[in-house]
Structure 1
Amino acid sequence: MADPMNPSTGDQQQQKYRQYNPYQKINLPYRQIYELPTSPEFLFEEEATKKRLSWGENLTFFTGWGYLTGSLLGAAKGTIDGIRSAERGESLKIRTNRILNSGGLAARRSGNCLGSLGLMFAAMESGVTYLRDGDDGSLTTVIAGLATGALYRAASGPRSAVVAGAVGGVTALAAVAGRRIVKRFVPI
């Protein structure tokens, strides 16, 4: 051992022996683990320049969010209807069953309705984008909304299809305007 009173013996001792470090040969890039890049990483340059979703991603996104939103709204409406339709003198089990059945029925109906609307909108938007040679602007979204509304109510007659197309176009226009407002005022 080195003599604490004589520093020269400690230096000689250190030069004779070195400490064993089992991780010396392994270069662990620990800084790369903790210092993550802030921008997205892409394998190919084409992915970095792409600004929109592919048609499959678009289809999945709108269909999934439509079904989820419709199910949640339908479940809330069905639950409220189930609570309102409860009769005096019913047991707790009967009331609970009525509420769950009503909520589940409304959730299925509205989820399927909005999911199919999302599917049609995504298909229309991808088709309109293709027809406009890849131009994915606000006009594409509004045209897809018009076409989706008209197609959804086409079986009910031409008047119903025109009204539904107008409602779809106005809704798509409101979504485009809302997106621009959010981008302008909300720092994301």
Structure 2
Amino acid sequence: MGLLDRLTGRKPRSEESATTVEPTPSSAPEPVVSLPSTSPAHDALRDVQPNATLLSAAGLSAPQGKLYNPYEGLSTQAIGTKPHLFRLPEQPEFVFEEEASVRRRDWTQHLQFYCGGGYLAGGVVGVAAGLYKFVVTKPEVVTDTLKLKTNRLLNTCGSFARPWSNSCGIMGLFFSGAESLYVYQLEPYGVPDNACTLLAGFTSGALFRLPRGPRQAAVAGAVGVVAAGGITALRKVFPSL
């Protein structure tokens, strides 16, 4: 077959296969990695000066809050990307909407807060009164040793702290229960919270002095209204009260 191919002028198959250029396999196309597109709301919260068009499209207003730069002290070459400033929220953020809608403690937390706070406050006042009496009162015994002084100090402070703590704890119990009840019953009728607090102060004072008669109860209720007014004023400065 090789001699016949040469006589006819045809190249052998081996030479044809040698001269034939095999096509190189095409390289597989590189996968295109697309970055996740950020929503207009995310861009509006991230940029220092957000685009007004993005804000209007997302239905958002200009974000408020303190600016925070996490790349402070670093150069642009070290970061490798355009730095962005973030706005820190000025108010607490909640995961669930139910938590954001809560404006006050529930009645169990209210009860624990005012009972415990009243008991501790009464104890502090009682200890302070006991210390004052210990300082101004002279002992009847001439030979007063260190053990006698310590014993007299503990007895004096305890005699004042126990009734004050119990009384203030009971007042906190009456006040928290009455306020929770008034808010639950009167809030649907449009009664403000401050009015419920004043009513709770009158009720707690009147209940505390009711065993001594109606006159004492009325006077104690008036004192309770004044104390409740002080709590209302303090809540503007300390909302957690």
Q: TM-score, normalised by structure 1?
A: 0.71
2:99 is the alignment partner of 1:47: yes
Q: Is the 8 A contact 2:203 2:221 kept in 1?
A: yes
CA pair 37-178 structure 1, distance change in 2 beyond 3 A: closer
Q: 1:67 maps to which residue? A: 119
* CA displacement at 1:89 relative to structure 2: 2.6
Runs of 4+ displaced beyond 4 Å: 35-39
2:14 — aligned with what?
Answer: none
Name the structure 1 match of 2:12: none
Report 1:78-157 matches (<5 A): 78-87=130-139, 88-133=142-187, 137-157=193-213
- Residue 91 of structure 1 and its aligned partner are, at CA, apart by 1.1
> Structure 1, unaligned stretches of length 5 or more?
1-30, 184-188
Q: SS state of the match for residue 202, structure 2?
A: helix
> What is the letter of the counterpart of residue 111 of structure 1?
S
State the shift of 1:59 in Å: 0.5
Q: Which has the larger radius of gyration?
A: 2
Corresponding residue SS for 2:187: coil
Contact 1:83 1:99 in 2 (8 A): no
User: In the aligned structure 2, how far is the partner of 1:153 from the partner of 1:159?
Assistant: 9
Corresponding residue for residue 231 of structure 2: 175
| Cα distance in 1 between the residues matched to 2:229 and 2:158 | 32
Q: Secondary structure at the match of 1:153?
A: helix
- Residue matched to 1:186: none
Equivalent residue in structure 2 for 1:159, among 212, 215, 226 = 215
Q: What is aligned with 2:34?
A: none
Higher helix share: 1
State the AA in 2 paired with 1:48: A
Q: CA RMSD in A?
A: 2.2
Contact 1:79/1:100, CA 8 A, preserved across alignment: no
Q: Deviations over 1:107-139 (max 9, x none)?
A: 111011101100110000011111113556110
Aligned to 2:165, the other structure's residue is in SS state helix
Q: Which has the higher contact order (CA 8 A, sep 6+)?
A: 1
Amino acid at match of 2:208: Y
3-state SS of 2:205 partner? helix
Gaps of 5+ in 2: 1-69, 71-85
- Alignment partner, residue 17 of structure 1: none
SS in 2 for 1:132: helix
TM-score normalized with structure 2 length: 0.56
